[in-house]
Amino acid sequence: MSYQQDLAKLHKERMARLWPVNNADNTVQKLSEKVTRLKTEIALLEARRDRLETTVKELDRLQTEARGEERLITLRERICQEHDMPVEVFCGPGHSQLIVIARRQFAQEARAMGVSHQRIGYHIGGRDHSTVINYIKPKKQRSNSWKPAGKRYLRQSPDAEPMVG
């Protein structure tokens, strides 16, 4: 064998011995890059999962709210049928005794279901929550302490003598 052939053979042997090391370094680097890429994907998926969980919770809340609204609408329709009254009259501006009795019944039953004063007022035609509170109060607490005095109304204390007009 010639000197060049020996040198080529020696070089091949040396490269064969070094190849696994070089190949392993490349493999480690590629695996490291892949792990970094997978960690990034995992972080993105976790963020997406969190957004989805938030969306699912919001959807559940909206569905629960919609079921509550359906129950209130059904209750309002039932009470209107019981009192032989159109929903437009029930929700309208009228203050006749029959309308107030129906609204009071609706407010009391809705409150027993755990509905807020604001939501009840909304279903009674946009009434204020304080109106709903007055509908729900027992009759003793609803006594009218406003007495006419000429053309004005004056607040009368419970201990005062009745006004004679």
pLDDT digits (tens, 9 = 90+) for 24-55: 667 778 888 888 999 999 999 988 988 888 88
Chain-centroid distance of CA 146 in Å reads: 41
CA distance 136 to 115: 12
**Residue found under tokens 């490349």:** 26
Structure tokens at 61: 């809340």
Triad 105, 64, 128: Cα angle to 5°: 40
pLDDT in tens, 82-98: 999 999 999 999 888 89
C-beta of residue 120 within 8 angstroms of C-beta of residue 106: yes
- The per-residue pLDDT for 110 is 92
At residue 113, does pLDDT exceed 70? yes
| SS3 state of residue 162 | coil
Query: What percent of the chain has a predicted confidence (pLDDT) above 70?
Result: 76
CA distance 126 to 120: 9
CA distance 164 to 149: 9
Query: Shortest CA distance to 143 belongs to which of 158, 128, 125?
Result: 158
At residue 76, does pLDDT exceed 90? yes
Taking the model in full, what pTM does it have?
0.53
φ, ψ for residue 51, nearest 5 deg: -65, -40
At residue 81, does pLDDT exceed 60? yes
Check whether domain 3-138 has CATH 2.60.120.260, yes or no: no
Task: Over range 107-124, report the average pLDDT.
Answer: 91
